[in-house]
Amino acid sequence: MALIFRPEISAGTGVTALVTFYLTALFLFLIRFKRRKGSEKKQTLPLPPGPHGLPILGSLPFLNPNLHQYFADLARSYGPILSLRLGSKLCVVVSSPSAARQIFKDQDAAFANHATPAATLVYFRGSNLDLLWSPYGPHWRMLRKIAVHEILSTTGIEAVAPLRCREMRRTVEVVSARAKMGAAVDVRETTFLTVLNMMTSMLWGEQVGGSSEGAEFRRAIEGAVDILMAPNVADFFPVLAPLDPQGLGRRTKKLMLWINKFLGEIVEKKKRIMVSGERRRDVLEALLNLVESGNSQPPFSLDDLCKLLVDLIGGSADTISTAVEWSMAELLSNPKKMRTAQQELDAVVGKHRIVEESDIPQLHYLSAVVKESLRLHPPLPLLIPHCPSTHCVVGGFSVPAGTSVFVNVWAIHRDPHLWGEDAEEFKPERFLETSRQKRDFYLGRRKDEFCYLPFGAGRRACVGTAIGEKMVIYMVASLLHSFEWRLPKGASLELGEKFGAVLRKVEQLFAVPTMRLDTPELYL
Ligand code: HEM
């Protein structure tokens, strides 16, 4: 623009430049005006409808501990996009595929943040956030890329399949000891330990399940997750967050520092092994090389490494063990379907060898059992609350930046308009539809459908989807192939749900195994 004041420029050029200047200015003004109008329009759109609640407390006094069911009930009165205040915090709950699409597809970047709990922020104060809580941006992208390429790539997952197989064999041996005694097995506890050992074996080559330090590590992770789920005044009244009034932030910090110390020792041990020249080429070694190379941008530090390990272990153990427990519970209450799954296993695997992960692509019915179980009982029924970075519009309603947005996948998964009148029934067959179109619809593969979301969707979808699903199917397959299962004498099966860090069964599932394979060596 400074061009027009230069004397050496001819009159014609000067006029052209002047016109260009005015046109550019007009164009910029119009764009700004349009943008302002657009954002004003957004601001003036109403918030989604919802209960008024009480002054100051909002709907806090009316919350039902089973939050997913409470939100589903509210949606019946206020519709699939509703808002409510919990203290001073504005929350929006969506329970329809079209609203989910607007969040995870149309405005995915704006919604690609998780609403970080106040207690967690106390621990992270002054350091980088981890993968789970990092806002969408370069740091999150760097961590996510490392998780996807260095740890959870298809080849990476395949390379450590023998470790998962080893841990599953150990579990089958433990369960067979119970079978010999005619004793019941705590399905969730058994699978939780198996997943923990599978994950730590995959990450740094050792299991932690059996040792006393391992037990403490587990308690620390569970403790941190429990605090995450505890109602925290600081979340409902963010102005109080710096005071940490219930001390939940300080407790989280203490537990996380213990976990970091535990992991720090493992990292140091690994470094010593690497210096000695003995190489195992496991995930931890690859990650340490990445830290030392300084190649990643932004830099990947040792602190980031430990936090990533915690995310991967914390993100998998509860979700997978809960999914296995629900699958087994549904099969125990549907003995015919359990028989069908076992017949398939006998046809594909036979009774003279054990199940391998490579059998999974042939186990169509069993895969459908797991999918159906994740549909009825998604381990994270409200996903992890998302938090828009800018003012957004969903379904014609205003969703201001900073709102906590819950996507009620539990309600979407049980909507009879989407899944039919039998939506509440456990029916794996629905995932075996012969019509490709219907099958794709159910699996949520069709790009424009958001009906099946046990792992979320969009940029912030579960980073462990592939391995998570595989591990659940493999564990259920191994338990069903090696054993017959029945309830303990006199016990009855309930399928009540309890909302928490994950959606658990109200009563832990205990079941009695009996060995069903021909060769005793298959249990060793
Ligand atoms: C049945 C198994 C699993 C289920 C149902 C599940 C479900 C989910 C869901 C619903 C989310 C949040 C999506 C959102 O906020 O929209 C999530 C995030 C996440 N999951 Fe999983 N998950 C499973 C297994 C795993 C495994 C095996 C790992 C690790 C190996 C894992 C690691 C994570 C991490 C790190 C995140 C946060 C990702 C981010 O914020 O970018 N999950 N998972």
Which atom of ligand 1 lies nearest, measured to the CA of 385?
A: 15
Q: Are 302 and 222 in contact (CB under 8 A)?
A: no
Mean pLDDT of 244-271: 91
Inter-residue contact 105 to 461 (CB < 8 Å): no
Asked whether the beta carbons of 51 and 86 are under 8 A apart, the reply is no
Structure confidence at residue 120 (pLDDT): 92
Q: Is the bond into 65 cis (omega within 30 degrees of 0)?
A: no
Among 12-16, 356-360, 417-421, 440-444, which stretch is predicted with the lowest mean pLDDT? 12-16
Choosing from 202, 319, 382, 460 the residue with most ligand 1 atoms within 8 A of its CB, the one to mutate for a pocket test is 319
List all residues whose CB is within 6 A of at least one atom of ligand 1: 114, 131-132, 144, 311-312, 315-316, 319-320, 323, 379-380, 383-384, 454-456, 460-464, 467-468, 472
Query: Residue 468: pLDDT above 60?
Result: yes
Atom of ligand 1 at shortest distance to CA of 458? 16
Report pLDDT digits (tens) over 1-37: 333 333 333 444 444 444 443 444 444 444 444 444 4
Q: How far is the CA of 78 from the centre of ligand 1 (A)?
A: 29
Q: How many angstroms separate the CA atoms of 200 and 202, rounded?
A: 5
Quick one: which H or E segment has residue 85?
strand 81-86
Query: How much distance in Å is there from the Cα of 312 to the middle of ligand 1?
Result: 8
pLDDT value at residue 129: 94
As a whole number of angstroms, the distance between CA 94 and CA 400 comes to 15
Q: 125: pLDDT confidence band, cut at 50, 70 and 90?
A: confident
CA-453 nearest atom, ligand 1: 10
Instruction: Please state the length of the chain.
Output: 524
pLDDT at 443: 60
Distance, CA 196 to ligand 1 centroid (Å)? 15
What is the rounded average pLDDT for all residues in the chain? 88
- pLDDT-based confidence at residue 442 (cuts at 50, 70, 90): low
DSSP, collapsed to helix, strand or coil, labels residue 107 as coil
Q: How far apart are CA 390 and CA 408, in angstroms?
A: 22
178 is written with which tokens? 């119970």
The pLDDT assigned to 459 comes to 96
Q: Who has greater pLDDT, 44 or 476?
A: 476
Q: Which residues are CB-neighbours of 420 under 8 A, at least 6 positions away?
A: 430
**Higher per-residue confidence, 221 vs 326:** 326
End-to-end CA distance of the chain: 81
Q: 201, 306, 404, 462: which to mutate for ligand 1, most atoms within 8 A of CB?
A: 462
For tokens 């205003």, the residue is: 398
3-state secondary structure of 279: coil
Residue 135, pLDDT > 90, answer yes
Query: Which single residue is written with the structure tokens 């760097």?
Result: 142
Number of neighbouring beta carbons within 10 Å of residue 261: 11
Q: How many whole angstroms separate alpha carbon 110 and alpha carbon 250? A: 31
d(CA 471, CA 426): 21
For ligand 1, atom 15, which residue shows the shortest CA distance? 384
Looking up tokens 């996380």 gives 256
CA of 462 to the centre of ligand 1 (A): 3
Q: Rounded distance, CA 360 to CA 367, Å? A: 8
Q: What per-residue confidence (pLDDT) applies to 27?
A: 46
Asked whether 259 and 310 are in contact (CB, 8 A), the reply is yes
Triad 186, 476, 419: Cα angle to 5°: 110
- pLDDT, mean of residues 175-192: 95
CA Rg, the chain, in Å?
Answer: 26
Is the bond preceding 298 in cis, omega lying within 30 degrees of 0? yes
Q: Which of 287, 296, 252 is nearest to 124 (CA)?
A: 252
Tell me the percentage of the chain whose pLDDT exceeds 70: 88
In this structure, the residue with its CA closest to atom 16 of ligand 1 is 456
Q: Which atom of ligand 1 is nearest to the CA of 323?
A: 1
State CA 415 to chain mean position distance: 21
Please give the distance of CA 318 from its chain centroid, rounded to a whole number: 10
64-95, pLDDT tens digit by residue? 999 999 999 999 999 999 999 999 999 999 99
pLDDT of residue 320: 96
Q: Once rounded to an integer, what is the mean pLDDT over residues 88-111?
A: 97
What is the rounded distance in angstroms from the CA atom of residue 358 to the CA atom of residue 158? 10
**Model confidence at 40, in pLDDT bands (50, 70, 90)?**
low
- Where along the chain do its domains lie? 60-523
DSSP states of 334-399 as a string? -HHHHHHHHHHHHHHT-SSS---GGGGGG-HHHHHHHHHHHHHS-SSTT-S-B--SS-EEETTEEE
Q: With the C-alpha atoms ordered 395, 401, 405, 407, is the resulting torsion angle positive or negative?
A: positive
pLDDT of residue 68: 97
Bridge partners of residue 514, in order along the sequence: 484
- Residues placed in the known binding site for heme: 462
Distance 311 CA to ligand 1 centre (A): 9
- 132 backbone dihedrals φ, ψ, rounded to 5°: -65, -40
pLDDT for the residue numbered 249? 94
Architecture of the structural domain at 60-523: Orthogonal Bundle (1.10)
Interface predicted TM-score of the whole assembly (ipTM), two decimals: 0.99
Ligand 1 center to 465 CA (angstroms): 7
How many H helices and E strands in the chain?
A: 20, 10
Residue 196: both structure tokens together: 């923990």
pLDDT at 10: 40
**Alpha carbon distance 275, 294 (integer Å):** 18
Look up residue 524 and give its amino acid.
Answer: L
Asked if residue 434 has pLDDT above 90, the reply is no
Q: What are phi and psi of 169, to 5 degrees?
A: -65, -40
Q: Residue positions in the annotated binding site?
A: 462
Q: What's the pLDDT score for residue 41?
A: 54
**Cα–chain center distance at 63:** 23
Of the candidates 190, 511, 486, 482, the one whose C-alpha atom is nearest the C-alpha of residue 342 is 482
Pairwise CA distance, residues 62 & 57, whole Å: 10
Ligand 1 pocket check: which of 455, 472, 503 to mutate, most ligand atoms within 8 Å of Cβ? 455
Contacts of 448 (CB under 8 A, 6+ apart): 101, 105
Q: Is the pLDDT of residue 262 over 70?
A: yes
> Residue 11: what pLDDT?
40
The CA 404 to ligand 1 mean position distance, Å, reads 18
Are 164 and 471 within 8 A, CB to CB?
Answer: yes
